[in-house]
Chains A and B, each alone.
Chain A
Amino acid sequence: MRGQNNSFKQRLQSYLPAISLLLIIPIWQLVCSLFEFPPYILPSPTMIFDAFVQVESARWVMHLWATLRVALFGFILSLCISIPLAMMMVSSKYLSKTLYPLLVVIQSTPVVAIAPLLITMFGSGEGPRLAITCLITFFPLVVSATTGMLSTPPELIDLSRSLRAARYKEIFYIRLPYALPHIFSGMKVAITLAIIGAVVAEFVAAEQGLGYFIQFSTSFFKVPQAFAALIFLAVVSLILFKTVYWVQKYFFAWTLNKEKS
């Protein structure tokens, strides 16, 4: 009996976020019909849904793919740069002392403000948009990887050295895997930032993408359509976040264990 009760409670808990999201919709609808806001102030959920359906699905797919492509490639590029960089910083004190201030400068510069500059400098192609996404996702990845690698228990490093193992083995087979739980936390932050980066780049210059579509819609006062694109974007961002979690859960399950030692 108690077991059943527990599992019911657990089930309820896992559905609570979805329930709370679904509850918002009727309340929103009610508020809109009570106060009769004009649609360009606050469109009702039914209006947003209508606007969503009116846009052909091929168009949605095109805009979605344009944004997703930049976000994903930017994220992967950032991962490919930041992890080796973190490995280098961990293996050399001098390198970390040289690079760290540079990283902090990059992080303290608002990337959103660099976006127009980059685009005037390098044109409105996909390159600058990738660069912006890369810049915005870069810092959490480097920091999480470095922190993770430095949190490796010193005993394991002693063990590696007492075996006279090569230095690269210490980094690859001990420090890097040890950093994985941290790296996954960094990746969860970075993947949502990647969407932000891609959208910001589209605001500055683009001919397609969900960010571009939001700007395009609002400039024609098609606010319900902009809302539809915004919600679509939020859903995509959530799915990407969940994908990182699923990859972690299925391929690196141990990173989710709370360590006893």
Chain B
Amino acid sequence: MKPYVSFNSVSHFYETDEGQQVEALRNVDFHIEKHQFVAVVGPSGCGKSTLLKLLTGLLRPAGGQVKIFGTPVTEPRDEIGIVFQQPTLLPWLNVLENVMFPIKHKRGRISSKEKEQALSLIKMVGLDDFSQRMPSELSGGMQQRVGIARALLLDPEILIMDEPFSALDALTREEMGFDLLRIWNQSPKTVLFITHSITEAVLLADKVLIMSPRPGRLSEEIFIDLPRPRSAETVKEKAFAEYSDRIRQQIYHPREFTVVSNESKVKQEVSNL
């Protein structure tokens, strides 16, 4: 089976205003299968957002290739929906108009069928009674729900989320995690989800990518074999704690890893225990 998304030895540099080059990513290699939920964890500045921008096509990699359905990404594509860290709704539009914004902005008008779709998405994220409200009347969690509905409007194959819950308080954050699982069950998507929370990553993902900084590299891939559908019960399982510990261990006390060059591909292998 062809991978849905693949990063092949991707590296990236930024140019600072002083003309210096910053190495943001070095030789990043991974795949995402169809409808797989992949979480990325790692300290600030290790290149997580850069990874996302490369997948959206807003940035082009300096080296290597980013592919969707086997073809290199050269410009932004319709198959991708993005949820940002801040909800960044348009304050002059109400909830419904905000959700419809991508279609309106792209084509200038919206069909009644698409409007129905927007309304059902608003219902799916649990805001049916709020479609006519302005963003300033909503709590942070509700605003982010609107952000999720907006990202789902064009029915993207791939959903990209950059620390979507990190601006929320702990309780709302937990609730949003479970809601995201429910939404993902209802309409399965291929998801790349960035987070700072290890437990959030374990709860949501099929696979967790751990990154380390300076330069940003992939230090480990951990498959989370917890049964689905997951719920508040999942968190109590022993395996859940074990996965979390393993990830924590890898972030704070990374074991040495060797980089084995294999023709053009570079694989990272964790040295023996």
Chain A residues within 8 Å of B, Cβ to Cβ: 153, 155-156, 158-165, 169, 173-174, 177-178, 180, 252, 254-255, 257-261
Contact = CB atoms under 8 A, between A and B. Distances in A.
A163 B105 CA distance: 8
B134 A164 contact: no
Interface of B: 53, 56-58, 75-76, 80, 82, 84-92, 102, 105-106, 134-136, 138-140, 143, 167
B84 to A, nearest CB: 4
A261 B86 contact: yes
Given A155-B84, A155-B86, A158-B82, A260 B143 contact: yes
Nearest to B154: A163
A163 B76 CA distance: 7
A177 B135 CA distance: 15
Given A159-B84, A159-B102, A174-B90, 16 more contacts: A153-B88, A155-B86, A159-B82, A162-B56, A162-B57, A162-B76, A163-B105, A180-B92, A254-B91, A255-B92, A259-B91, A260-B135, A260-B138, A261-B89, A261-B140, A261-B143
6 contacts: A158-B56, A159-B88, A164-B106, A255-B92, A260-B135, A260-B143
Nearest to B56: A162
- Of the listed residues A163, A164, A180, A261, the one surrounded by the most CB atoms of chain B closer than 10 A to its CB is A261
Given A158-B56, A158-B58, A163-B76, A257 B134 contact: yes
B43 to A, nearest CB: 21
Nearest to A170: B105
B88 A162 contact: no
Contacts of A169: 105
Contacts of B91: 178, 254, 257, 259
